[in-house]
Amino acid sequence: MKQIITKIERYNKKSTKFKFRIEPQQMTIETDDKWYPDQVFLVCQHKNKRFTSQPRKLESSCTIACRRLVVWPESMSDPIEFETTLYLNSDLNNFEDKIWTLVLEGSMTKLRGEKAKLKQRPLASTELNMKTLISQPGMKAEN
């Protein structure tokens, strides 16, 4: 029923498709001694759409034991590419909000004596409003 209401609300609204590309470069993660991620990857999701990067290994810090670093070199960049449709609000002459969530997920290892236990879990997340990103320079629209 919600899908029908959404389609009725968007009737006669101009739609524009936008392509987005997220290129991570470097990230520092601080954990405790019991739980630490072996691999991390970025996930960009909206409702049932989900786009992921390749898993990356973490490098331990020499100075601080609980700090780890993930680096995406330019030669081995792993961008997340997706496209989404934004609808033009005819009354206000701007696009409607569309929220995507960017999540950092990792496979965590918990040390318990000699046994290691793997667990998949989100480490951090943020919301991206695509309407605010299209005003940035370098964005191109497809009609």
**Using one digit for the tens of pLDDT, what is the confidence trace for 101-133?**
999 998 876 666 666 666 778 989 999 999 888
Pair of tokens at residue 66: 């609980």
Burial of 82-108, coded b for 16+ CB within 10 Å and e otherwise, reads beeebbeeeeeeebeebebebbbbbeb
Q: pLDDT tens across 81-101, in order?
A: 999 999 888 777 788 889 999
pLDDT, position 111? 65
Compute the distance between CA of residue 51 and CA of residue 42 in angstroms, rounded to an integer: 8
Compute the distance between CA of residue 2 and CA of residue 8 in angstroms, rounded to an integer: 10
Burial class (CB in 10 A: 0-12, 13-18, 19+), 113: exposed
Report the predicted TM-score, pTM, of the whole model to 2 decimal places. 0.76
Compute the distance between CA of residue 44 and CA of residue 109 in angstroms, rounded to an integer: 23
Q: Is the pLDDT confidence value at 30 over 80? A: yes
